[in-house]
A and B are shown apart, each in its own frame.
Chain A
Amino acid sequence: MSLEQFKTRVLPVKDKLYRFALRFLKDEDDARDVVQEVLIKVWNKRDGMNQLENMEAWCMRITRNVSLDRLKSKHSKYTDPMREGFDVSGGENETPYRAAEMSDMMKNIGSFIEALPEKQRQVIQLRDVEGYSYKEISDILEIDMNQVKVNLFRARKAVKESLLNINAYGLG
C-alpha cells in the first residue's frame, strides 16, 4: 500500500477510531495517542492489508485492543478507585464549549449511556453513532452476532426506559 492509498483509505477513519478509543479511555489525550499508535501499526502492516475484506473494521479492532492494553497498563500503574467508582458522568471531558452546545437532555442521555455496561455501551457507540452493520460490530468486538444483537437490544431498551423516565418525572 502506498502512502497515497494510506491517506485516502486509512486516514479518513481516524475520527471513528478516535471516538471509539475515547469511549474506552475517557481522556482525549490518551485517545489521541492510541489512534496515533494504531495508525502507525496499520502502516507497518500495510503489506497484508489488501487481503483484508474490511479494513475499517480491522482498524477498529486494533483500536479496541490497543485501548484495552493501555487501560490495563494504566490500571497497574496506579489504581484510582475514586475515579472509577464515582465518575460515571464526567468522563466526556466537558469543556465549557461542549457543555453549552449540548442541551440538558442530551447531557443526561450522555451520562446514562456512559453508565451502561461496557459491551452495551460499545455496541450502541458502534451502531447508533458510527452506523456499523451487525457483522462489522461482531468483527470489531470479536463476539458473535447474537451477542451483538442481544447487547444492542438491552442497551436500546435501557435507553428507551430512561428517556421515558426523564420525560415522566423530569429527572434523569
Chain B
Amino acid sequence: MDLDRIEQLLAKYWDCETTLEEEKELRKFFNSDSVPTRWQAIAPLFRYYEHEKKNGQLDGLFDEQVLAQIDTKRAESTGDKGKVVRMFYDIAKVAAVVLILVTAGYFVREEYLNKKDKMDPYIADTFEDPKEAFEETKKALMLISKNFNKGRKEVEKVGVFSEAQEKIKETEAL
C-alpha cells in the first residue's frame, strides 16, 4: 500500500476530514501485519477499534430468547380468545360497580323509609283523647290572649301621650 497516502490519510484523520471509506482503509492498513515502525505507536489504536467491534458480540442464544419473546407476544395479540376474555373482564368490572351501587341504594332507601314510619305518629298525634286535646289547645290559646292583653294595656299608656300631643297641637293651632 502507498505509504504516502497513509501518511496523508492519517493527517486528515486527526483533523477529522476523512470520509468513512478512508477511515476503513486506515483501519485495514493498521490491522495488517506490515505496519512500518514509525507508526507502531498508532497501530494499536486502530487494532483496538477493530478488536472492540469484533469482540462485543451477543451469542446465538440471544436471538432465540428474543424471538421466543416475540412469538409469545404475537400469540397474545392475535388470539381471538384473548379478546373475548378481556371483554368479559371489562363487563364484569362494570357489573360489579352497578351491583354495589344498587345494594347501597337499597339500604339507604330502607333506612329512610323506616325513619319516616317511626317519626310520623308522634308528630301527628300527641294526645289520645280528643277532649283532653281540646282543653290543652284552649289553655294554650288563653295563654296567648292573656299575654296579648297585657301588651295592649302597655300600649294604651302610650296612647295617652299621643292624645296629649294632639291636644297641644290643637291649642297651638288656635
Q: Which residues of A are in contact with B by a Cβ distance under 8 Å?
A: 3, 6-7, 11, 14-15, 18-19, 22, 32, 35-36, 39-40, 43-44, 98, 101-103, 105-106, 109-110, 113, 125, 127-131, 133, 149, 152-153, 156-157, 159-160, 163-164, 166-167
Q: A3-B70, A129-B52, A130-B53 are in contact. Are A156 and B16 (CB under 8 A)?
A: yes
Is there a chain A Cβ closer than 8 Å to B55's Cβ?
yes
Chain A residues closer than 8 Å to B65, beta-carbon distance: 36
Which of B41, B45, B70 contacts A40, CB < 8 Å?
B70
Q: A15-B58, A39-B66, A40-B70 are in contact. Are A163 and B23 (CB under 8 A)?
A: no
Is there a chain A Cβ closer than 8 Å to B57's Cβ?
yes
Contact present for B44 and A105 (CB under 8 Å): yes
CA distance A109 to B56 in the complex (A): 16
Contact present for B66 and A36 (CB under 8 Å): yes
Is there a chain A Cβ closer than 8 Å to B13's Cβ?
yes
Which B residues, 72 to 104, have Cβ-Cβ distances below 8 Å to chain A? 73-74
Which of B16, B48, B56, B69 contacts A15, CB < 8 Å?
B56
Q: With A40-B70, A44-B73 given, can you name 4 additional A-B contacts, CB distance below 8 Å?
A: A19-B52, A109-B45, A149-B16, A156-B16
Contact flags B58-71 to A (C-beta < 8 A → 1, else 0): 10001101110110
- Contact sample, A vs B, 19 pairs, CB 8 Å cutoff: A14-B58, A18-B57, A22-B56, A36-B62, A36-B66, A39-B66, A40-B70, A102-B51, A103-B44, A103-B47, A105-B44, A106-B51, A109-B48, A113-B48, A127-B23, A128-B49, A131-B20, A131-B23, A157-B14
